[in-house]
Every structure is written in C-alpha cells, then in structure tokens.
Amino acid sequence: MPESLHEAVPPRTPVIVGVGQAAERLGADGYRALSAADLAAEAVRAALTDATLPAASIDTIAAVRAFDVASPYAVAALGAPDNVPRAVAARVGADPARAILGPTGGQSPQQLLTELCRELAAGRGETALVFGAETISTVRHLAGLPRDQHPDYSERHAGSLEDRGYRITGLTAAYSAQHGLVEPTVVYSAMENARRTRLGASRAAYARAIGELFAPFTAVAAANPYSAAPVERDAAELVTVDARNRAITDVYTRFVVARDQVNQAAAVLVTTTEHADRLGIPAERRVYLHGWAELSERGLLERPELDRSPAAVAAVRHALDTAGIGLDDVAALDLYSCFPIAVFNLCDGLGLAPDDPRGLTVTGGLPFFGGAGNNYSAHGIAEIVTRVRRTPGGYGLVAANGGVLSKHSVGVYSTTPAPFPEGSTAALQAELDAVPAVPVAHRADGWGTVESWVASYGRDGSPRGIVIGRLDDGRRFLANTADAAATALLTDADQPAGARVYVRATDAGNRATLTRPEPKPAAPPRDSAHLTVTAAGHVLEIALHRPELDAEVLRDLEHALAEYQRDPELWVAIVTGGENFAHGVDPAAAGSPLLLLLQSHRVWTGRPAAHGAKPVVAAVTGRADGAGLALALACDLVVADETASFAVPDPAVGLPPALGVLEALPRLAGPALARDLILTGRRLTAPEALAAGLIARTAPHGKALDAAREVAADIVARSPVALRAALTFLRDAGEYPGETDRHAAALADVVLAAHDPSEGFAAYRQGRQPNWRLE
C-alpha cells in the first residue's frame, strides 16, 4: 500500500491489527476440556501473534457476556471468574486500565468493537481488545459426571470492572412467558409462519426454501477448522424429519437452528494508526471500520409486521451509507443466522438473493459453524478481517443480531485507510420508533383472527399450540390453544392464518378455541383445597386456609367470587383469613425467583368484585402484607382487628409491590404515605390505617370477623339495587384507570430483566442483607 494512503488518516484512527480464534470439539483428538477463560486466552494469544503486538500494550479489555451470566437466572454450573476480562488478561500477561463486561445479545461483539473504536478515536486509550468464549459443550459434559469429578472454574480477580448490565428489558415479556412464547426456537418460528403467510407459501415449499438457504452454509462450515459441526448437508437433509433431525416446532428441525453446544472463542485487537506505526505493523495487515450502525426494534407483539425487522435492514443501509458504498460493493458477507428468518429478513429488505454467489456467511453460520452464545459475531469479524486482507481494497460486512431481531449492530470493513466514521443513529432510531405500535390485549375475550402461530414439540412429540392474533377491535393477543381441535389447526392445516378463533381470558392466560364455548350455568360457591365457603342467608363467607396468595389460592378465590357475583341469592361477601390475613408468595417456598415474579406480578390487578357490582368486605386479622394488602384494598370495605397491620415488604426481596398496591395505595392514603410505605417498608397499624382512610373500621382483638358480619348485616338490610348502582358508579369513576393488565405486564417485564429479584431471593434464603445493583 502506498505510504501516501497510509498517512491519509489521522493518527488516532482506530485500526484492527489482530484477530484470533480457538475451538475444540468434545471427543475429538486433542480435546482438553478447557474452561471458557482458558479457551478465551488461546484466542487472545492468537490475536496477539497475528498483530505482533505485546500483551502489555493493551489498556482496555472488553469481554462479551457469556450465556452463564446472560440473565439474572442463568447459572454457571461449574463456576466462573468474578471478573472475566481480568481473568483472561492475567492469563496472557496483560494488565489493562479498563475492564468491560458487555451486555447480553448477539449484537454485542460488533457493538463493543464500535464503542472501543470510538473511544480510541476520541483519544481515550491506545490499544483495546474484544473477546468472548463459550464452552457450553464442555460444561454440560463435565456437569454430567459424578460431583466429585466436577472441576471448579470459579476465580476471583481484583481490579475494576465496568459491567454494562444485561440490557434485556422487554426481550422476554411476562405476557409472552405466561403463554410459552419464550424459547428462541418458538418465537422465531412464529415469525417464520408470519412470513410464510405473507408469501402465500405452503408448509412444504417454505421448508424447501429453508433447506436451500442453509445448504450452502453447511459447505462453508465443513471447510472451517473452528466449526462445531463441520458436515456438509443438502437442502432436503436439513429439513427432513427423522430420528437424528427431530421436529422442534412445526417450522424447524434440529439441524436448522442455532447450535449452542460449542467450545469456541474469538478475539479482536484494535489500536491506533499512530501506535501501529510505532510497532511497525505492516499496512496490509491493518483493517479499518468504514461504517457502522446500532439500532433496535420494539417488542415483538407491538411490531406492525411480525415477520419483519425494519431496524435490521436500516442498520445495514446506514452502515453502507456511512462507508460510502453500496451492497454490490461488498465482497464478503456474514449475516447473523441463528434462525432462517434472521437471514430472510435482510434478504427481503435489501433485495439480496438467498443464493447470492458471494455467499451469506464466512463462518458457516450459527446452526453449523456454531452459535457461540453472544460471541458468534466475533468469529464473523475475525473471518471478515482475514478475507479483506486477502483482497486489499475490498469490503466485508458483518450484521449482528440480539434478542428476537431486536438489537442490531453492523460493521463494514476494508484495508483501505479511512478515518473513523463519527456520527449517530439517534435520528434514524427516532424515525423507527415513531411508527405506531400495535395495541396489545393482555386479557383477551371474544372473537379474533389468527395472525401467526407456532406448534412446539416436546421430546415425546406432543405439541403445544400458541396463537398470535387480532381481536375484532384490532388489538393483538397471545393465547394457547385450549383443545385438540385448535391445536390440530396449527399442526395440520396448511394455512392456519386467517382462521377464526374464540379467545377467553383465564387466570393461567388466554385460551383459544375454534368455537365459542357454551356458557356454564351458575353454580353455588363451593369449598376448595385452599378456602372454605359458607353461605348464610344473603351473606357469603370465604375463609382462606393459608395466607400465601399464590396462583392456586388466587385462582380459587377469583372463582368463588365470580360464582358469588352470579348467584342472585347472595348479596354481600366477606373474605377472611387465619391468624394473619394474607401476604404474597413466600420466597423460601418458591421454586425460583423467576417463578415467584411470574406468580406475583398480577396480584392484584383488579377488584375481586370486578365481575359484577356486589360488595365485598375484608375482615383483616394480623398482617396484611404485599399481595394481602392489595387484596384488602381491592375490597369495598375493610374491617381490621385493632392489632392488625399493613405493609409493603416486596422490595426487600427485589420484587415490585403488587400492582393493586401501586394503583390503590396512593389514591386512598395519599401519595406521601404511599411512598413512605413502599420506599421504606414502614408498617402501618390498624389505627393509623383507619386515620389514613385505608380501612373503614377497627374491631377489638379477635373480633374482626364478627364486626365484618355486622357490616354485612347492615348491607343486606339496604336496597341491593341501590347499592349496586352506587358501587358501579364509584368503580367507573376512575379509581382504576387504564388497562391494569398492560401496566402489570410492563412492570414485570422491567423486573424480569433485572438483577435484584435473583439477588433478593438468594439473600432471603441465606439470611443476609441483599446487594442491590442499579442497572
């Protein structure tokens, strides 16, 4: 390269000078069962050798977040370093001033590299390293051995760590989790079915298209020494269901989805041209970032089209525009290929043929090369750097994806010297965000139309049906099929989209059938395993057997109250408990913090009397905490034992207060007192609650139920028609504005992605103070 071109860029221009990869396959010759940190160190050493750069010169080291720390609920089965960047730095002889742990998502290698290039261009640092490693195959293998043969990969390393956090808020919505639309294979299948519907393709034709898309990928993977599955397969083999290639969903077989059981690591070294000059790194070894983009997509259910990600297409176009080139000028491409739709989306949006002669991957793709956790695109960058070095002046493009086509990071590379392309995608992001979102119905009732669907198969072959559709009012809903006929529509019909379904909201989620169920005749309230129901005259008493308001207790309580509303002979209901009135699920008894959150987030998202206009009275003895307070506040009158108390303990274990508390407490007690109870955990006595307007009356110790019965007798003595008319007006006067289920889901989505529930859960069980972390 002419020296004049070499000098054409500012001295602080970032330039990639080294890339390295490492891999080992379980059972292969030379397999060493390396830990993730050890395998990462091998990739870093390879990058240092490639750059002829000393490890001591690295001043910033950034690690891509591994799967075992990718969410609050992930577990490192064999342990892991507490500071991954510094653990790897120590292995290669580096002592960086800065250590960074990136966010969750497949976009993060490109995102981190762009960030570090920007830092170098701004004069902050001189040499930076991005690396990542996954040893999922090894960990699963070793974790299956007897416990006394488990290695311990735990390490402690002093020094600073800039943790970027998970940044997964909204990617797994509580609404989706409730209906099983969580696993990537399931979510992406629903997107594929939406695309198949748009194209008007049959099941067989679409399967052939998937096979034809990915068959060339297998050929690339077969020639790549770092591949996890170096086997070339033809299109038919990829999509034919057999004993080795079972159906995971009605769209995907095992061969065409990202392969996560890998042992792979990759590293990228970037420095400044000034430093590269001092080290004498040849110009032909230097690769420049000519264009980049960072864009994100709104949640799946809010997207105007379920099968498209405009942000992904816009990110590629922006990166190309920044580089000053067109797609035809790119010689080598690596498109994120966790599932076929990720590639199809870019092909559709960019006018790129699936059989483009350049090929759409330089690694072999995630199903065949390997889905190395969040770090796959680091391998793509390493391969692109190698390719453009072979063809000086040519361009390579890496398009990385995180979430469910949610977060997109793109880089354009070339050996041609160019200043770092400063700029921002904020205006483009704002333009994407301005497109109206589709309204979502979290509790769906009535007729609707199937928009997309997925049937997911267990290992026994039994299907579970999930429907995404539109109610007749235009709102999008999510539901599970409620019977064999509805499930058969999703598994057997060639085109389920457009079919009419009837959706019902239940405590366990929305349920879809092909016909409207016949209404059940009113049945008298009855006992259950969790409560006792007693009727005397016009008064119904519901006694909770235990104070924990878990999903089963709430289901039975809501059922009893619904039957009370339908029974014309019952005019008033009393809800009471035992020594303590009620509280949320005990963390010590919950299976996991995730289950605890999913059980708790809807408590209480509406009045128990919401099914009708009849009054409900709460008789409170002992404590009414958290969800118990929400239950009490949701009743029309509260009579409390003079020794009763009220509190909001949920934040002490990392959970938000019950939505009923957040909605009703400020309205009834005033914002100041509500914030006091929520923020500090202050416990309110019965006299204080009476003065604050939270309860209607107090009763002597042990007499709350008797007092509630007296209240009920007074209510029965008055006109039920007049009282119901008055209550209907009061309830419609704005006491509970908005869609409570939507608010509940949004609240749970934020906490679901946070560190605090997991930490609070652990601290509770271990009897220690929690270590909260603001993200």
Three-state secondary structure call for residue 479: strand
pLDDT of residue 4: 35
- Alpha carbon dihedral 276, 280, 285, 287, in 10-degree steps, equals 20
pLDDT of residue 601: 52
Q: What are phi and psi of 132, to 5 degrees?
A: -160, 160
pLDDT of residue 381: 98
Q: Is the pLDDT of residue 727 over 90?
A: no
Signed CA dihedral, 82, 85, 91, 93: sign only: negative
pLDDT of residue 600: 55
pLDDT of residue 215: 98
- Tell me the CB-side half-sphere exposure of residue 508, using CA atoms within 13 A: 8
- Quickly state the pLDDT bin for 731 (edges 50, 70, 90): low
- Boundaries of CATH 3.40.47.10 in the chain? 3-175+254-433
- Boundaries of CATH 3.90.226.10 in the chain? 531-766
- Quickly state the pLDDT bin for 593 (edges 50, 70, 90): low
d(CA 283, CA 278): 12
Q: Cβ distance 541 to 572 under 8 Å?
A: no
Q: Is the pLDDT of residue 609 over 50?
A: no
Here the tokens at position 557 are 């309580």
d(CA 724, CA 492): 49
Three-state secondary structure call for residue 591: coil
Task: Count CB atoms within 10 A of the CB of residue 98.
Answer: 19
- Boundaries of CATH 2.40.50.840 in the chain? 446-513
For range 182-201, the mean pLDDT: 97
Q: Is the pLDDT of residue 3 over 60?
A: no
Helix (H) or strand (E) holding 338: none
pLDDT, one tens digit per residue, over 561-572 is 888 888 888 999
Q: Cβ distance 654 to 637 under 8 Å?
A: no
CA angle at residue 505 from 500 to 507, to 5 degrees? 150
d(CA 538, CA 264): 70
Cβ burial, residue 251 (10 Å; 0-12/13-18/19+): buried
Q: Is the pLDDT of residue 29 over 70?
A: yes
Q: Cβ distance 237 to 253 under 8 Å?
A: no
Here the tokens at position 531 are 């409560």
Estimate to the nearest angstrom the gap between the alpha carbon of 535 and the chain centroid. 46
Is beta strand 539-544 parallel, antiparallel or unpaired with respect to 572-576?
Answer: parallel
pLDDT, one tens digit per residue, over 313-350 is 999 999 999 999 999 999 999 999 999 999 999 999 99
What residue type is assigned to position 382 of the chain? A
C-alpha pair distances (Å), 238 with each of 213, 217, 489: 10, 11, 25
Q: What is the DSSP code (8-state) at residue 404?
A: T
d(CA 749, CA 652): 19
For range 465-471, the mean pLDDT: 98
- Quickly state the pLDDT bin for 591 (edges 50, 70, 90): low
Q: Is the pLDDT of residue 774 over 90?
A: no
Is beta strand 697-699 parallel, antiparallel or unpaired with respect to 684-685?
Answer: unpaired
- Quickly state the pLDDT bin for 741 (edges 50, 70, 90): low
Q: Cβ distance 491 to 483 under 8 Å?
A: no
Is beta strand 446-457 parallel, antiparallel or unpaired with respect to 330-335?
Answer: unpaired
pLDDT, one tens digit per residue, over 692-704 is 999 999 999 999 9
Peptide bond into 571 cis (omega under 30): no
Q: Cβ distance 68 to 39 under 8 Å?
A: no
Task: Go through the chain and tell me how many residues it has.
Answer: 775
* E-assigned strand segments in 151-262: 162-163
Q: What are phi and psi of 572, to 5 degrees?
A: -150, 145
For range 362-384, the mean pLDDT: 97
Q: Is the pLDDT of residue 738 over 60?
A: no
d(CA 202, CA 541): 57
Here the tokens at position 138 are 């090894």
For range 213-217, the mean pLDDT: 98
- Quickly state the pLDDT bin for 595 (edges 50, 70, 90): low
d(CA 212, CA 350): 19
* DSSP secondary structure of 364-390: --TTTT---GGGHHHHHHHHHHHHHHH
Q: Is the pLDDT of residue 608 over 80?
A: no
Q: Which CATH architecture has domain 446-513?
A: Beta Barrel (2.40)
Strands of the 407-414 sheet, one edge to the other: 288-296, 407-414, 395-402, 330-335
pLDDT, one tens digit per residue, over 255-297 is 999 999 999 999 999 999 999 999 999 999 999 999 999 999 9
pLDDT of residue 244: 94
pLDDT, one tens digit per residue, over 149-172 is 999 999 999 999 999 988 887 766
pLDDT, one tens digit per residue, over 512-553 is 999 998 876 666 677 888 899 999 999 999 999 999 888 788
pLDDT of residue 552: 81
d(CA 318, CA 326): 10
d(CA 628, CA 638): 12
What residue type is assigned to position 130 of the chain? V
pLDDT, one tens digit per residue, over 476-520 is 999 999 999 999 999 999 999 999 999 999 878 899 999 998 876
Q: Is the pLDDT of residue 555 over 60?
A: yes
pLDDT, one tens digit per residue, over 247-262 is 999 999 999 999 999 9
pLDDT of residue 463: 95
Could you tell me which residues come within 8 angstroms of residue 605 by beta carbon, excluding any fewer than 6 positions away?
659, 660, 740, 741, 743, 744
Q: Give the homologous superfamily in CATH for domain 531-766.
A: 2-enoyl-CoA Hydratase; Chain A, domain 1 (3.90.226.10)
> Which CATH code, of 3.90.79.10, 3.80.10.10, 3.20.20.140, 3.40.47.10, is assigned to 3-175+254-433?
3.40.47.10
Task: Count CB atoms within 10 A of the CB of residue 441.
Answer: 26
Estimate to the nearest angstrom the gap between the alpha carbon of 418 and the chain centroid. 38
pLDDT, one tens digit per residue, over 63-106 is 999 999 888 878 899 999 999 999 999 999 999 999 999 999 99
Q: Tell me what the pLDDT averaged over the chain comes to.
A: 91
pLDDT of residue 72: 82
Three-state secondary structure call for residue 376: helix
Helix (H) or strand (E) holding 279: helix 273-279
